[in-house]
Amino acid sequence: MVSTSSTLKADVLIIGFGKGGKTAAAILGRSGRRVVLVEQSERMYGGTCPNVGCVPTKGLVHRSQRRRPEDPAQDWYARSVQEVQETREVMRRGNFDTLNSIDTVTVITGRATFADPHTVTVVTRDEQLSVTAETILVNTGSEPVVPDIPGLAASRYNVSSTELIETAVLPERLAIIGGGYLGIEFAAIYRRFGSQVTLLERSDRIFGHEDDDVAAVATHILVDEGIHIVTAARVTEVRDGGSEATIVYDKDGEQHTVEVDAILAAAGRAPATRDLNLEAAGVRTTRTGAVEVDEHLRTSQPHIFALGDVRGGPQFTYLSLDDSRVVLDQLTGEGRRSTADRVVPRTLFMTPPLATVGLTEREAREAGHRVKIARAAVAEIVAMPRAYAVEETRGVMKFVIDAGTDRILGAALLSIDAQELINTVALAMRHGVTAAELRDAVYTHPSSTEAFNGVLATIVRTDGP
């Protein structure tokens, strides 16, 4: 209950304890700036990634891979959830203690709402505060989108990704609505733990952004794992029963049903701006609700910046981190750093992981590039003995290369260690390292990186756009 009211003044106010916000808070605080950071939930110190996103889900990926067929599914899963939540708690406390130990940083747990361009009202458990600041950073992240499907929102079998990874009971039958990054990753995790998984995707295929050849290999791996994938499926209704839910969907003009114990709606995430009252601050948003920013992350109010998912675009923790560098350069540096020239790698943590960067072959041709393609199945890359050493030879590596300059335009790596390999490719692209230079570099042995020696030595096709 709100019982008192007080006012705080800060040099910098940060709304949201995400990667970008906490990084900026620590650096600005240690430089002597008076920083107030507001986070609405004490469970979210550190942001989405260490609490309900990257860290716990990748912890479950790791533990699901270690489960042997003879290991009891329910016991293995319950222990895995407990271990992951213990790690989450250590990171949550560590994130809070790191900022709370800085004398010039004040962390407030409460809900922030703009009152005017320089003032935010914060309602905590005990009081209402008014915080004013010369500079304000919005880092509130994103929130799940629940599809408008009759019966879904009210279903007692409908679970969010957060609820699912915190529940110690393994669903025997799990349905996932949506075949994007989140849907595919959770399908792979829970199938490996022992759930029967049905993935319902409205498009004609999953991995819709990838080239057909890469998508085909990745899809085959998931199907081979035992995931039931239904594409071109339009879910029309969810009906609760006494001990299960029935999902009704249309495919090819016919109606189908599937009975499940849990439903995960993986329809994406939207910028979390609804409760900020940005209109009072004079901050413009896009039609999707994202905060509108320029390449320096300034909003329509020059003293207000937006970082991370809340500004729209790709939703990656490492982009939020880089956003903090852009903003800090505006506040304390030369002001030249921007978001305009980024090369952003991304990874989907199926098993093995699919990591990509830059243009696909299709996109490169559509952009008018003359391309050459280097492609090889992992099992056929002689220069990659690590794949055989760890018994994971599934997958494919593909590079899209400009035929005139030999510059790498993009890559798709579906292989063991792909989440690490892609960072080397992205670095090469940022600095203009050619495909030949990447091919002829000296790599440790046995390693996954030395696969570049073999893949880039074979150009499988060269032609025009």
The alpha carbon of residue 333 and the mean position of all alpha carbons in its chain are separated, in whole angstroms, by 29
Closest CA to 47 of 308, 229, 233: 308
Radius of gyration of the chain (CA): 24
Assess contact for 137 and 310: CB atoms under 8 A.
no
Compute the distance between CA of residue 143 and CA of residue 269 in angstroms, rounded to an integer: 5
The one-letter amino acid at 423: N
The conformational region for residue 130 under phi > 0 = left, psi -120 to 50 = alpha, else beta, is: beta
> What are the phi and psi torsion angles at 279 (to 5°)?
-60, -35
Whether residue 40 contacts residue 14, with contact meaning beta carbons closer than 8 Å, is answered with no
Q: What does the DSSP 8-state code read for residue 292? A: P
Beta bridge partners, 396, equal: 377, 414
User: Is 103:66 a contact under the CB 8 Å cutoff?
Assistant: no
Active-site residue list: 445
Please say whether the beta carbons of 185 and 268 come within 8 A: no
Inter-residue contact 416 to 410 (CB < 8 Å): no
Is the torsion defined by CA of 210, 212, 217, 220 positive or negative? positive
127 closest CA partner among 103, 153, 108: 108
Neighbours of 339 (CB within 10 A): 17
The Cα 116–Cα 120 span in angstroms is 7
Measure the N-to-C terminal CA separation of the chain; round to a whole number of Å: 65
User: Quick one: tokens of 33?
Assistant: 């700036």
Is there a contact between 465 and 368 (Cβ–Cβ < 8 Å)?
A: yes
Q: How many residues does the chain have?
A: 465
